[in-house]
A and B are shown apart, each in its own frame.
Chain A
């Protein structure tokens, strides 16, 4: 083979091989049309405003038929108490379904710790719920595609398809998922998807007297929530997992995990 001919053939092979590669990247119509969907739900928690009344948990359990007496909840409130001698106490008795009506800290195993009021340094409440992450670990690991993210950014569970393996519960860094005590499938916060689609606020947002919980559409620049997220200093929980949480927090402390 001539050198010239060899080079020519080489070029032909390279060109020939590269064409199908580019031809294979076909266009996903869903991607083109949904590149900028109108709605993308996000949650905003102002921890400075929360007083730990637990009305949100009560409303959530009522609205979504999670039995009150079952020790799981789609949303919960945590209490953080720091003492002046640099000790940290955290609890969330019964997910704060009845609020915090005891000044003692629940240590589990039926033990409670009374903290001397004079020794209390800072203390605050942090409401938590599913973060409806942009790249959720839970939907990735579902072996049957029973949990998924909707186009408007809400992570849902298909109750008729879930096999109940619990892999998504393990994958969630936020502990937002649990087994429904009656349905025996995985359950989690839906941002009250049925309410959103009826034009209503989610039950917890609705029940909060102090506006510590709010929800908005972050694809709408005029939405007051979007304004806050864009203009104020907000944080997210556990960003190190790369899940890109969509629940934003005002007044987050580093100990809140």
Chain B
């Protein structure tokens, strides 16, 4: 027996690398759902939120949000594949991940993922296609008319020809039809986006064994914080991209900036200001909703004091106090909220606030996912999570700091490439009725 122990002393079971147990925990208890499962609701939240922001313009006709709406639509498309990424990185058998789509076991909340996700993806794709069809056709035609095309231009022509899907009609009526269809798709898209994320909340809220997760409020809380994080990220990215464009417009480094009717840096600044101000109003509304629900949940638990409250109180009020009340509620909610409601709001202040909001929503996901596993099912022990920073094997990479950073970086890389064919900023569109 002793020899056996010596032989494989290095055997570490999944979860052991980042879990520190304290007092009495059941032998099989570890923090099995780690940083990637924090990333999953965070990223789907961004997808759903970005889409909701874009729908404000497409469905409700908030004209002033036109530019940021188109931008968020394209950005939510870039975020889409990333919603799935943390799940794949988290699976112990990633190559069997496809089973979820092929053999969905419908008594499970997770089995609907494939259906909800693909429905949502096709809605976003359709909407983008409808918005950009005119641009695709015009670009393709322009490239086809071009004499002695370079290889790159030939390739672009082929891509754009494919993107038109054979619908070359860009007469007034046809474009008008596109706009109508787009409005319908956006209208369907809002409930589906909310469902995509509310359902991520349901996955947690329906785990009856977990005292912290088990609440019917969970899906609603997740939706509200999703919209908050999505809007915040869109504002932030939009400001950054506009700053880059301003720089390009001044220095005339990009191809579009050298054209005669290129937007001036001052024009860009003015557009940015209005768009950011209006979107941040919506951000405030959703922040109020999200915070109200979260506080309600906390108060309700404290007031009803069911069996699990003793251990939950110790986790919430003592062990995770800094993470919940300082990092999440104060720095992530209260400070940006005050920054945005104080008079004389500027773009810079709003931008800083959105960074804090994003951090706050991330901490909320962290506190729910990790906090829910911070105490033992026996209610007599605790588990501490230590994020693996320096990876020493595949598992500590996937479920460590670098795995999480990979997930965060991917949408921006994807956005860069998608933007080549589906430009988030279209000057032609400004003349169009849409």
Contact = CB atoms under 8 A, between A and B. Distances in A.
Determine direct contact between A and B, CB below 8 Å. Answer: yes
Interface of A: 67-73, 76, 78, 88-92, 94-95, 98, 107-109, 128, 137, 139-146, 161-167, 169-179, 181, 184-185, 241-242, 257
Q: Kindly state the interface size class of chain B when it binds its partner.
A: 35 or more
Contacts of B376: 175
B209 A163 contact: no
Contacts of B16: 71
A140 B377 contact: no
Given A67-B11, A69-B7, 10 more contacts: A92-B27, A137-B208, A146-B99, A165-B87, A166-B90, A170-B33, A173-B209, A173-B377, A175-B27, A177-B28
Nearest to B104: A143
B208 A167 contact: no
A175 B26 contact: yes
Interface in B309-343: none
Interface stretch (B17-25, B161-169, B219-227): B17-25
- Chain B interface SS verdict (over half): loop
Interface in B72-122: 87, 90-93, 96-97, 99-100, 103-105, 107-111, 113
Contacts of B378: 90, 175, 257
A241 B209 contact: yes
18 contacts: A70-B13, A94-B27, A108-B20, A109-B21, A140-B108, A141-B110, A141-B207, A143-B111, A144-B96, A145-B103, A164-B91, A164-B96, A167-B203, A173-B208, A175-B26, A178-B13, A184-B93, A185-B92
B15 interface: yes
B35 to A, nearest CB: 14
A255 B25 CA distance: 14
5 closest pairs, A vs B, by CB?
A164-B92, A175-B26, A143-B110, A95-B27, A145-B105
Interface of B: 1, 4-5, 7-9, 11-16, 20-30, 32-33, 87, 90-93, 96-97, 99-100, 103-105, 107-111, 113, 203, 206-210, 376-381
A176 B24 contact: no
B394 to A, nearest CB: 11
Given A71-B27, A173-B377, A163 B104 contact: no
A165 B377 contact: no
A146 B97 CA distance: 12
Contacts of A107: 22-23
Contacts of B93: 162-164, 184-185
Given A108-B25, A257-B379, A165 B90 contact: yes
A57 B20 CA distance: 23
Contacts of A144: 96, 99-100, 103-105, 111
